[in-house]
Amino acid sequence: MQRRLREAQTPKQGVEFADPAAVGERLLTTATLSANALDRIDRLSMIRAVLADEDVSITPPAVPSDPRTVEQIRTEIESVTGFHPTRLDAVQDVAEGLVAPIDADATELVDVAVDIERALRQRTPKAVSEVESVRRATRELFRSDGEVWDAAYPAVERVSLAGISSIPIADIDLLHALLDSTSVPVDIYCRRGTGSFLSRRVAELLDVAQPGSVVFES
Amino acid sequence: MTRADHLALAEPIEDADVPVAEMVTTTRRAEARAVMATVAALRGQGVPVRDIAIVARDLDGYEAPLYRAAIQYGLTPVFWTQLRVTRTRPYALVEAVCETLGGDELTAETLCRPLEHRWSPPSKTTKPWSLDPKEVGGVIEALPDGSRTLTEWRDEFAAVPTIDERFERYVEWLDDCPEPTPGAVTDVLDAVVDTYEQRGLPVTKANDSPALAETEQDARAVVRVKTLVRHLGHKYADRLEEGTIERSWSAVAELARLMVTQRPGRREHSNARAVDVLEANDVWLLDIPYVIGVGLVDGEWPQQTESVVPPELQEAILRGEGQAGTLAPRAAWTDGRDRDQFDDTVRAAGAGLILTRHTETSAGEERRPSPLLDYLSPEVVSDDERRRLLSDDPQLPTAVQAMYDTVEGREDEGRHDSEEASR
């Protein structure tokens, strides 16, 4: 986007470019919380260890047990639910409502994702992923009633999310917390191929309490 | 879920505002040759190379054939492949070392970050060093809060007799690192990457699955980062000479990040002979007169991504009825991203859009046209015309020639604009 603006000779002054992960990092740093997150390589070796220690039980063939697949299960369920209590209940209900035997497989898949995330959280003081960092920032934003935002971005008048073909739930929750706890207006710019579908869904995605919260205790 | 369901999730794509031609070949290699023949013929008509771009959904399958075909036609392709090197451990190590050396005051966490990325002392011995993340984490927790200078940390470590001597050795190494002259930057970082190759890479291998996929990735990253370090030294020296950078390790870290994330841009290449080959992901908002979209083959563009989630559950979440309404629809379960990128490609073309596809795999299996083509009404290039394009006396297919002639008709304003843009 920066390049396009430069080519169009549109001034970039007054515009700061950042992805949600960078925003989360700035918020956490401002709140003097750790913004450290595991990267994928670390996560894969940790998942391998979790599986080797049988911290999480997996029953093939419903759920394959190689670390990459397990990581993919974790990522997919995370992108849909953000491990938010209300959304996990919803996905479990939806899974249970499917025809047998798919209902059992789907339910187990969700359980494995939650168990793996929990096991990873217990093994590291860092955030399990960049996505979890964004959630930490979201919780902090909500908890501080916007104070951390004002400290991190005192001069920001407007937030725009642009260039998206999908809306990861962690990003939606971050925007949700921002809308609830500050007076900063938020715009979402969709694209032509997917825009009408996504824009129909956004309102309901904002319809959960405590954005960024997770089912895990700590 | 059927394709129709996927497609129903989004509106139809609007037809292009410019003329569209479709060129069909049997194999991917023949497709690549036809593409480069078109580029060469457009060049022959006087179209500047920067006014042409080739777009693929995924460069993996097209980079090699396009490269070979380009060479045949005396063209230099520039592939805008995504650089993922920033996500690799050797890169993270180099960045962490620069940031640690560049910080005036360091927290225990920042101080130890290079250790987490498997820093080990550069030396001739291959004696095992292996500090695992747990040990590093333990020491970070034992260290006092707050920020200190390197020298203060060195004193701190010296005052604690129980501290692992490897940590002492590490802080000594940091504290003894020279001032960041270009030569010193290259030497220090070179040594850091070399020792990573000797001691860090084997750790990845030991933890890897039998297929050694991570080891291969890590080894490739080592090679990339070595090259980066070499270029970094030169660029840093240039910038110092120009007076556009300060002499500090932090500035080196910033420059390194800039170098690995910056891809060759049209402006940087506006006088070069290179033809841009982009992934559709990079086309958003671009404006290029002639766009050649390759690989409009079902399964190639759009491409089905593998998922571990049963299709029935995907469908329920995508539909979002009832409780599922609070669940985020995952783009990778649909062809939404591919549609967006196809639309970007269509909109990027300012004078004409040429779409190509092949009909057979190298094993002779049939490859069907992409359903995305149904949204447009291209003029199909005949076999005769394609043969003439590839002959010793190449001629542009009439559909493509017409694009050129139309633009020539509007030459005055058109050329003015493109000169403005290239400045």
Q: B146 pLDDT band (50/70/90 cuts)?
A: confident
Of residues B92, B324, B332, nearest to A94 (C-beta): B324
More confident: B219 or B262: B219
Q: What is the ipTM of this complex?
A: 0.90
Mean pLDDT of chain A: 87
Quote the CA–CA distance of A150 and B66 in Å, as a whole number: 51
B393 contact partners, CB below 8 Å, separation of at least 6: none
Q: What is the DSSP string of B258-298?
A: HHHHPPPPTTTTTTSSEEEEEEGGG-TT--EEEEEEE--BT
Query: Do residue A93 and residue B308 have CB atoms under 8 angstroms apart?
Result: no
A212 in a structural domain: no
A59 in a structural domain: yes
Query: Do residue B11 and residue A196 have CB atoms under 8 angstroms apart?
Result: yes
A213 in a structural domain: no
| Bridge partners, A160 (sequence order) | A187
Query: Do residue A205 and residue B336 have CB atoms under 8 angstroms apart?
Result: no
Cβ of A135: how many Cβ atoms within 10 Å? Answer: 27
Give me the domain span that covers residue A105: 40-123
Span of A119-123, B77-81, B124-128, B257-261 with lowest mean pLDDT: B124-128
Residue B167 is predicted with a pLDDT of 87
More confident: B214 or B287: B287
Tokens at residue A52, please? 């080797």
A58 in a structural domain: yes
Tens-digit pLDDT profile for residues B27-79: 999 999 999 999 999 999 999 888 999 999 988 889 889 988 998 998 888 77
Q: What is the 3-state secondary structure (H, E, C) of A184-210?
A: CCEEEEECCCCHHHHHHHHHHHCCCCC
Query: Do residue A73 and residue B343 have CB atoms under 8 angstroms apart?
Result: no
* Segments in B28-107 forming alpha helices (H): 28-44, 63-72, 89-102
Q: What is the DSSP letter of B75?
A: -
A51 in a structural domain: yes
> Domain check: are A94 and A140 in the same one?
no
> Domain check: are A116 and A138 in the same one?
no
> Is the per-residue pLDDT at A94 higher than 60?
yes
Quote the CA–CA distance of B184 and A159 in Å, as a whole number: 42
Query: Do residue B336 and residue A193 have CB atoms under 8 angstroms apart?
Result: yes
Q: From chain A, pick out residues whose CB is under 8 angstroms from the CB of B261.
A: none
Query: Do residue B325 and residue A79 have CB atoms under 8 angstroms apart?
Result: no
Q: Considering A100, A123, A146, which residue would you say is the last residue of a domain?
A: A123
Q: B415 pLDDT band (50/70/90 cuts)?
A: very low
Q: From chain B, pick out residues whose CB is under 8 angstroms from the CB of A86.
A: 326
Q: B2 pLDDT band (50/70/90 cuts)?
A: very low
Distances (CA, A) of B158 to B101, B121, B137, B309: 19, 18, 19, 54
> Domain check: are A49 and A103 in the same one?
yes
Query: Do residue B310 and residue A98 have CB atoms under 8 angstroms apart?
Result: yes
Give yes or no for B214 touching A (CB within 8 A).
yes
Tens-digit pLDDT profile for residues B328-340: 988 888 888 888 8
Of residues B92, B308, B337, nearest to A69 (C-beta): B308
> Domain check: are A55 and A6 in the same one?
no
Residue B84 is predicted with a pLDDT of 62
Q: B4 pLDDT band (50/70/90 cuts)?
A: very low
DSSP E strand boundaries for B70-197:
76-79
Task: Please name the helix (run of DSSP H) or strand (run of DSSP E) that holds residue B407, with its range, or none.
Answer: helix B398-409
> Domain check: are A24 and A99 in the same one?
no
* Closest residue in chain B to residue A69, using alpha carbons only: B308
Residue A49 is predicted with a pLDDT of 86
Residue A58 is predicted with a pLDDT of 74
Q: From chain B, pick out residues whose CB is under 8 angstroms from the CB of A191.
A: 284, 340, 343-344
Q: For A184-202, what is the mean pLDDT?
A: 84
> Is the per-residue pLDDT at B282 higher than 90?
no
Query: Do residue A201 and residue B320 have CB atoms under 8 angstroms apart?
Result: yes
Residue B165 is predicted with a pLDDT of 82
Query: Do residue B267 and residue A165 have CB atoms under 8 angstroms apart?
Result: no
Show the CA angle centred on residue A184, arms to residues A179 and A190, nearest 5°: 70
A152 in a structural domain: yes
> Domain check: are A78 and A137 in the same one?
no
More confident: A71 or A1: A71
Tens-digit pLDDT profile for residues B377-388: 999 999 999 999
| Bridge partners, B243 (sequence order) | none
Q: From chain A, pick out residues whose CB is under 8 angstroms from the CB of B14.
A: 192
Residue A112 is predicted with a pLDDT of 93
Shortest distance between the Cα of B30 and any Cα of chain A, in A, equals 30
Query: Do residue A168 and residue B328 have CB atoms under 8 angstroms apart?
Result: yes
Residue A35: phi and psi, rounded to 5, are: -105, 15
Residue B115 is predicted with a pLDDT of 92
Residue B252 is predicted with a pLDDT of 94
Residue B103 is predicted with a pLDDT of 87
Q: For B307-321, what is the mean pLDDT?
A: 90
Tokens at residue B342, please? 């196809």
Span of A51-60, A148-157, A194-203, B223-232 with lowest mean pLDDT: A51-60
Query: Do residue A98 and residue B137 have CB atoms under 8 angstroms apart?
Result: no
Give yes or no for B207 touching A (CB within 8 A).
yes
Q: From chain A, pick out residues whose CB is under 8 angstroms from the CB of B320.
A: 201, 204
Tens-digit pLDDT profile for residues A24-54: 999 999 999 988 888 777 788 889 888 888 8
Q: B205 pLDDT band (50/70/90 cuts)?
A: confident
More confident: A189 or B285: A189
Counted domains in chain A: 2
Q: For B99-111, what is the mean pLDDT?
A: 90
B180 contact partners, CB below 8 Å, separation of at least 6: B101, B247, B248, B249, B251, B252
> Domain check: are A19 and A81 in the same one?
no
Q: For A159-165, what is the mean pLDDT?
A: 85
Residue B412 is predicted with a pLDDT of 44
> Domain check: are A25 and A82 in the same one?
no
> Domain check: are A18 and A53 in the same one?
no
More confident: A57 or B346: B346
Q: Considering A123, A156, A185, which residue would you say is the last residue of a domain?
A: A123
Span of B55-69, B118-132, B242-256 with lowest mean pLDDT: B118-132
Residue B423 is predicted with a pLDDT of 33
Q: Answer whether A172's CB lies under 8 Å from A206's CB.
A: yes
Of residues B88, B267, B328, nearest to A80 (C-beta): B328
Tell me how far the alpha carbon of residue A98 is from its chain's centroid: 26
Q: Considering A67, A97, A123, which residue would you say is the last residue of a domain?
A: A123
Q: Answer whether B166's CB lies under 8 Å from B234's CB.
A: no
| β-pairing verdict for A186-190 and A159-164 | parallel
> Domain check: are A169 and A139 in the same one?
yes
Which is it for the CA torsion A65, A66, A69, A75, positive or negative?
positive
> Domain check: are A96 and A64 in the same one?
yes
Tally of residues, chain B: 423
A63 in a structural domain: yes
> Domain check: are A29 and A51 in the same one?
no
Q: From chain B, pick out residues whose CB is under 8 angstroms from the CB of A165.
A: 331, 336-337, 340-341
Q: Answer whether B48's CB lies under 8 Å from B407's CB.
A: no
Q: At what angle are helices A102-123 and A67-81 packed, to 10 degrees?
A: 100
> Is the per-residue pLDDT at B82 higher than 60?
no
Residue B267 is predicted with a pLDDT of 37
- Go through B217-227 and write b for each residue having 16 or more CB atoms within 10 A of its CB, e for each that does not: bbbebbebbbe
A119 in a structural domain: yes
Of residues B10, B308, B316, nearest to A94 (C-beta): B316
